[in-house]
């Protein structure tokens, strides 16, 4: 090996060492917390329906969140998902929220989808779940059960007050 090549290699290793050592000894980036919600308002009950899923990411911590990536989860194999052109949020200041939009073409199978956000300095966050399709009978049954429970609880409390 030539002396100039050895000198250049030694110099580059020394420069690399000078860059890495301060980074290792630097203070860690403070952690923050995120809130993630998922919503869709378009028709999505039939196979072949194309709809938009909106994922809202909000920084509820005290420090900026860095390098946030949002992905849809539990998507069946026969569904087609077109992710945003740039699915990363580079910096999210405290209190700031940003939406990401996913275009989804529904397949023949039913699913309950959710989103997951991963950030460099925040724990993994999972959004609310959206059942697709949502049957009107299911909503009616849940309202009926909730009404019965509310009536029963209010009756018990009235008896306790007497």
Task: Give the 3-state secondary structure of 101-154.
Answer: EEEEECCCCCEEEEEEEEECCEEEEECCCEEECCCHHHHHHHHHHHHHHHHHHH
User: Does the pTM exceed 0.85?
Assistant: no
- Percentage above 90 pLDDT, the chain: 33
Does 147 have pLDDT greater than 80? yes
Confidence of residue 7 (pLDDT cuts 50, 70, 90): low
- pLDDT tens-digit readout, 41-93: 777 778 888 999 999 999 999 999 999 999 999 999 999 998 887 878 999 99
CA dist., res. 37 & res. 131, Å (int): 14
Domain 34-134 class in CATH: mainly beta
Based on C-alpha coordinates, what's the Rg of the chain? 25
- The per-residue pLDDT for 135 is 54
């Amino acid at each position: 090996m030539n002396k100039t090549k050895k000198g250049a290699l030694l110099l580059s290793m020394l420069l690399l060492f000078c860059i890495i050592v301060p980074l290792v000894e630097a203070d860690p980036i403070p952690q923050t917390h995120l809130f993630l919600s998922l919503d869709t308002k378009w028709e999505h009950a039939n196979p072949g329906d194309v709809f938009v899923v909106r994922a809202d990411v909000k920084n509820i911590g005290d420090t900026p969140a860095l390098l946030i990536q949002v992905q849809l989860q539990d998507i069946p194999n026969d569904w087609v998902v077109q992710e945003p052109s740039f699915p990363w949020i580079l910096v999210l200041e405290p209190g700031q929220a940003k939406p990401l939009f996913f275009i989804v073409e529904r397949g023949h199978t039913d699913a309950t989808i959710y989103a997951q956000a991963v950030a460099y300095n925040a724990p993994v966050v999972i959004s609310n779940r959206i059942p697709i399709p949502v049957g009107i009978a299911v909503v009616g049954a849940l309202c009926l059960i909730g009404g019965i429970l509310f009536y029963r609880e209010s009756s018990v409390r009235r008896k306790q007050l007497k």
